Amino acid sequence: MAECSTGWGGSEISREELAKDLDAILGQNPPTLRERFSRRHLPISTPKLPTHAFYNKHIDKQLILKRILPLDSLADDISQLVSNALAVALENTSCDQLPTEAFTSYLEATSYVKPPTAENIAELYEDGIARACDNIVTRLLIPKLRQWLPNVHWRRRLIPPPESNSGIYDNANLFLLSREGMVALPDGHRELIDSSLYEDLQRVATSVPGMGSWIFMNHSEHSDSLLAELDKFYLDDEFPYELCGTTGLENASSSPQPYDALLAPWTLPSGLGAPPVSSSKRKLRSRVQKIPPSRSITPSARRRSETTSREEVPLTAAALLQLSWARAVETDSTLIIINCGDHERVCVRHRATQTLFMSPMFNITTCKDPGYLKLHVGIHLALIKDAIARSKPPPKIISPPAEPRRSPRKRSRPDTEETTSRPLAKRHKATLDPVKTNMSTMSLASGRNMLLLHIRYDVYHSPAPASFIRAGPCLTHKSKWKDGRIPAIKRAYRHDEYFEIILGRKLGDGATGTVHTAIARVSSKNGEIILQDDLVVKLTFKRQDQARLRHEYAVYSRLAEHGVMGVPQIYGLFEDLEGGAIALVMNNCGQNLYALRPDKTKFRISVTPAQQDRFKEILSSIHRAGVRHYDIRDANLVLNGKGEAFIIDFDRGRFNPSEGKKEREMDILQELMNGIPHDFSMPSPETPGTRNEIWLRTPTPSEHSSDQEDSDEDCESDANSDARSGSDDLLL
Ligand SMILES: Nc1ncnc2c1ncn2[C@@H]1O[C@H](COP(=O)(O)OP(=O)(O)OP(=O)(O)O)[C@@H](O)[C@H]1O
């Protein structure tokens, strides 16, 4: 019996005993969800397509999913990885007693009072399986460690607000903590790691934001059958990945071939070959050829969709696979775990062949050889090994000496392995043909009702643009828009009948929408292309948020009627013809005062006296136009590069406020300028859209309240407001 040194929390035991205990722990499975969650919460709603699925259609062609294949050996391979790692670790570890009780308690039944939603199942995984994995994987990586402590962490990133509850939770992954550009290790751990592993961990901690994609679904019969159904795609030559339906303006891929680790702990079938050639591409081409030579495009639909929001669409098996794959592309993950409570599948994303290899569906409560804990320890370990391998600079290809150049023309750089391993985040910058930038771009666009929207940053490079139809006129330039007349959708649009918007990186995710930088590209009648690159686009997906954005547009209409300056120039409101989004196009006013704060922990804003006066002037003219902003804070006060002031974000705006409320709002602005932020920790004030009605369409002027004489403020219970002391403080 080999003798071992004493370890943490327990007495010294033999190596054999430790191996036996570990084996027993790793063979464990969690109890069924019915045993863990209270029965009164069952059944639960079926998963819906989450709103961010809108972005999945815009992933670069070279990164999308092309086929699904079975990989029955995956669990065995992962189990072998753990067995091998254990054998090595046991040779080097101190044999202290295993905290068996703690590990078992992580897996044991707890009476969970919450319903088994996707979020709660993710939380359960985080509190149980993931904690046990963190400890065991850390020990397998650093056998000399004398404690069962986690250096590896599995965490949920962001808990979505309840209204975004789609029955899907996909915002969790594994990561190594970093602090000030260094891998964060507890005291004393650095010395236990040899220098090459330390370098590897250092690279992963600082350059890999997350490893693996976990997709949790609400626990329901529908989720179980969705997971079971995924098999049916094995028979397809090509997976039906859904792209935008617009034809005539397809984009070639701009992504270099993504990089798979050369050595993986699983064996994939050999002779896979190149990904299948997209038949949909062929279809698109043949359809394009029928279109007259003037580069017309066919919009994605001839009719407006019933609803512009996405929440109500039930999840299908194809949508679940597309969503899971897209999430793995966005996070550059190799393994995808799809879990619906008691059942699960584990999948490998093979980048080069754009193939998803999928394990059979298994019941997590009855796993055997390997047990569920061993499988997940293996998944965590495999992800770290994969991240280490892929974050290493690939071996240099030694090429023969270059032949003398014959042509003076510049040659494009060959796609060497070196280029393929560049981090995804750095791959895409909006690349556009050399064209003029012209301030009349948006004036030309104001006469066009069809907007083609591309997304081009990180992994996004829309294979085809989304078609958006105008739902509200340009408020900055004259247009032929007739009040209340929503334009008909044409069968095809010539190049001088549509304009394009190319969305860049996200500027912010607000309570209402997602704001992106954007460039407009407009083709004139004679074919000249002009650009305007100082735009932003606010996209909204959920019903309530779309109601707020339509209301915001109505507020901007009122401000434009009164010629208010110092607010964004609005170039129109647009609806996605395939449903899912509405977009407000405006100019980029600069950076908000929060972003400009030198020290974010201190409320100190640097605004010159002239800029302070200008903010007050703008607010006065907003008030004169009969609008109260209702959300005056540093995030909504903006300065451009020339130091010019703007007030943005009118989704909470109110029409026809009382004089007292306007004065109070001016006081808040003054206080803000004096360095006293207003307390907005109160719940957001309701907007007319959220309380009284949901506008599924942009209201015509007669419908929306900009012409009404009654004040929106009157909708608030004035009786209550009189009774409240400091009522304005509560509302503002
Ligand atoms: N026209 C614009 N110019 C420059 N930046 C903008 C513009 N519009 C929005 N932004 C940026 O995007 C962020 C979010 O925008 P906005 O406040 O309009 O969204 P929201 O969803 O209504 O957010 P919230 O109501 O939570 O503040 C802003 O803080 C600002 O930094």
Q: Which atom of ligand 1 is nearest to the CA of 540?
A: 21
Residue 276 has pLDDT above 50, yes or no: yes
Q: What is the mean pLDDT of residues 432-438?
A: 48
Q: Give me the interface pTM, i.e. the ipTM.
A: 0.98
How remote is the CA of residue 329 from the centroid of ligand 1, in Å?
27
Window from 62-76, 174-188, 336-350, 635-649 with minimum mean pLDDT: 174-188
What is the model's pLDDT at position 186? Answer: 82
Q: Which atom of ligand 1 is closest in space to residue 588's alpha carbon?
A: 3
Pairing of strands 67-70, 355-358: parallel
Helices (H), 562-706: 593-596, 609-624, 659-673, 688-691
The yes-or-no verdict on residue 423 having pLDDT over 50 is: no
Q: How much of the chain exceeds pLDDT 70, in percent? A: 78
If you average pLDDT over each of 87-96, 176-185, 374-383, which comes out highest?
A: 374-383
State residue 568's pLDDT score. 98
45-59 per-position pLDDT tens digit:
889 988 889 999 999
Compute the Cα dihedral for 13, 19, 22, 23 and give only its sign: negative
Q: Report whether the peptide linkage leading into residue 370 is cis, meaning its omega lies within 30 degrees of zero.
A: yes
- Report yes or no: 69 and 357 within 8 Å, Cβ to Cβ: yes
pLDDT of residue 234: 94
Cis peptide before 688 (omega within 30 of 0): no
By the 10 Å C-beta count (0-12 exposed, 13-18 middle, 19+ buried), 177 is classed as middle
pLDDT tens for each residue of 508-532 = 887 788 999 999 999 988 888 999 9
Segment among 56-65, 120-129, 257-266, 419-428 with least mean pLDDT:
419-428
- pTM (predicted TM-score): 0.84
The most confident of 291-305, 437-451, 467-481, 678-692, by mean pLDDT: 467-481
**From the CA of 494, how far away is ligand 1's center (Å)?**
33
Output the average pLDDT for the chain. Answer: 81
CB atoms within 10 A of CB 158: 9
663 Cβ neighbours under 8 A, 6+ residues apart:
none
- Candidates 332, 389, 363, 303; CA nearest to 60 is 332
Report the percent of the chain where pLDDT is more than 90. 51
Count of C-beta atoms within a 10 Å radius of residue 270: 5
pLDDT at 302: 76
What is the position in ligand 1's atom list of the atom closest to the CA of 595? 31
Give binding residues as ranges: 538
Rounded to the nearest angstrom, the distance between the alpha carbon of 57 and the centre of ligand 1 is 24
Gap from CA of 643 to ligand 1 centroid (Å): 18
Per-residue pLDDT at 280 exceeds 60: no
Task: Please list every protein residue whose CB sits less than 6 Å from any atom of ligand 1.
Answer: 507-508, 510-513, 515, 536, 538, 568, 586, 588-590, 592, 635-636, 638, 648-649, 651
Ligand 1 probe mutation, 163, 515, 571, 593, most atoms within 8 A of CB? 515
- Report in angstroms the alpha-carbon separations of 425 from 202, 255, 314, 329, 518: 19, 11, 31, 11, 18
Q: What's the rounded mean pLDDT across residues 74-92?
A: 93
The b/e string for 609-646 (b: 16+ C-beta within 10 A; e otherwise) is eebbebbeebbebbbebbbbbbbbbbebbbbeeeeebb
Q: Quickly tell me which residue has 């503002």 as its tokens.
A: 732
CA neighbours closer than 13 Å in the CB half-sphere of residue 226: 29
The residue length of the chain stands at 732
Residue 19 is predicted with a pLDDT of 87
Most confident of 47-51, 198-202, 293-297, 486-490: 198-202
The listed range with the strongest mean pLDDT (100-114, 205-219, 322-336, 601-615) is: 322-336
How far is the centre of ligand 1, averaged over its atoms, from the C-alpha of 591 (Å)? 10
Going from the Cα of 700 to the center of ligand 1, the distance in angstroms, rounded, reads 25
The predicted structure's pLDDT at residue 526: 85
Atom 23, ligand 1: residue with shortest CA distance: 510
Tally of CA atoms within 13 A in the half-sphere of 641 that contains its CB: 2
For the segment 705-714, the average pLDDT, to the nearest whole number, is 46
Largest CA distance in the chain: 91
Q: Quick one: CA dihedral 472, 474, 476, 477, positive or negative? A: negative
Q: At how many degrees (to 10) do helices 129-141 and 74-92 cross?
A: 50
Indicate if the pLDDT at residue 355 is higher than 50: yes
Name the closest-CA residue to atom 31, ligand 1: 592
Rounded to an integer, the average pLDDT of 706-725 is 39
| Cα 607 to ligand 1 centre (Å) | 19
Instruction: State the pLDDT at residue 670.
Output: 93
Q: Per-residue b/e over 272-281, b at no fewer than 16 CB within 10 Å?
A: eeebeebeee
pLDDT over threshold 70, residue 176 = yes
On the question of pLDDT at 287 being above 60, the answer is no
338: pLDDT strictly greater than 60: yes
Q: What is the pLDDT of residue 106?
A: 79
If phi > 0 it is left, if psi is from -120 to 50 it is alpha, else beta; for residue 598 that is alpha
Q: Rounded CA gap, 520 and 502, in Å?
A: 6
210/452: higher pLDDT: 452
pLDDT value of position 250: 85
Does residue 272 have a pLDDT over 90? no
- The predicted structure's pLDDT at residue 65: 97
Helix (H, G, I), strand (E, B) or coil at 584: strand
Which range (160-169, 443-452, 502-511, 555-564) has the least confidence? 160-169
Residue 312's pLDDT band, with cuts at 50, 70 and 90, is: confident
Distances (CA, A) of 124 to 36, 37, 206, 222: 9, 10, 28, 21
Instruction: Using the predicted structure, report yes or no on whether residue 337 has a pLDDT greater than 90.
Output: yes
Rg (CA), the chain: 29
- Return the closest-CA partner of residue 358 out of 79, 65, 133, 154: 65
CA angle in degrees (0–180, nearest 5) for 58-60-63: 120
What phi and psi, each to the nearest 5 degrees, are found at residue 517? -70, 155
Name the residue with the closest Cα to ligand 1, atom 10: 515
**Alpha carbon of residue 722 to chain centroid:** 44
**Closest ligand 1 atom to 635 CA:** 29
Atom of ligand 1 nearest to the CA of 552: 22
More confident position, 10 or 587:
587
Residue 568 pairs with which residues in a beta bridge?
none
SS3 category, 178: strand
What is the Cα–Cα distance from 730 to 732, expressed in whole angstroms?
Answer: 6
At residue 164, the pLDDT reads 60
Binding site membership for ATP: which residues? 538
pLDDT at position 277, please? 64
- Asked if pLDDT for residue 558 goes beyond 80, the answer is yes
Residue 666 C-alpha from the chain's centroid: 37
Provide the Cα torsion 282, 283, 289, 290; round to 10°. 160
- Paired with 537 in beta bridges are 516, 585
What digits encode the pLDDT tens for the residues 91-141?
877 767 777 877 887 777 565 667 888 988 998 899 889 999 999 999 899
Ligand 1 site-directed mutation target among 649, 682, 690, most atoms within 8 Å of CB: 649
Provide the pLDDT for residue 713.
52
Q: Is residue 366 scored above 90 in pLDDT?
A: yes
Give which of 216, 219, 181 is closest to 202, Cα–Cα.
Answer: 181
Give residue 730's pLDDT.
23
Q: According to the model, what pLDDT value does residue 269 have?
A: 87
Q: Identify which has the larger pLDDT, 258 or 460.
A: 460
pLDDT above 70 for 717: no
CA dihedral 320, 325, 326, 331 (to 10 degrees): 130
Q: What is the pLDDT of residue 440?
A: 84
Per-residue three-class SS string for 29-63: CCCCHHHHECHHHCCCCCCECCCCHHHHCCECHHH
SS3 per-residue string spanning 673-725? HCCCCCCCCCCCCCCHHHHCCCCCCCCCCCCCHHHCCCCHHHHCCHHHHHHCC
Question: CA-to-CA distance for 340 and 117, rounded, in angstroms?
Answer: 9
Confidence tier at 278 by pLDDT (50, 70, 90):
low
Site to probe by mutation for ligand 1, drawn from 648, 651, 682 as the one with most ligand atoms within 8 Å of Cβ, is 648
- Single-letter code of the amino acid located at 403: E
C-alpha 678 chain-centroid distance: 30
Residue 511 CA to ligand 1 center (angstroms) comes to: 9
When mean pLDDT is compared across 343-357, 394-408, 561-575, the lowest value belongs to: 394-408
- Parallel, antiparallel or unpaired: strands 529-540 and 582-587: antiparallel
The two tokens of residue 289 are 């050829």
pLDDT value for 683: 40
Q: Hey, which residues does 535 pair with through a beta bridge? A: 518, 587
Residues in Cβ contact with 540 at an 8 Å cutoff, skipping those fewer than 6 apart: 512, 513, 514, 546, 548, 549, 581, 582
Residues 19-40 have pLDDT tens digits of: 888 899 999 999 888 777 766 6
- Ligand 1 centroid, distance to 648 Cα (angstroms): 7
Average pLDDT over residues 357-368: 96
pLDDT attached to residue 13: 77
**What's the pLDDT at 513?**
87
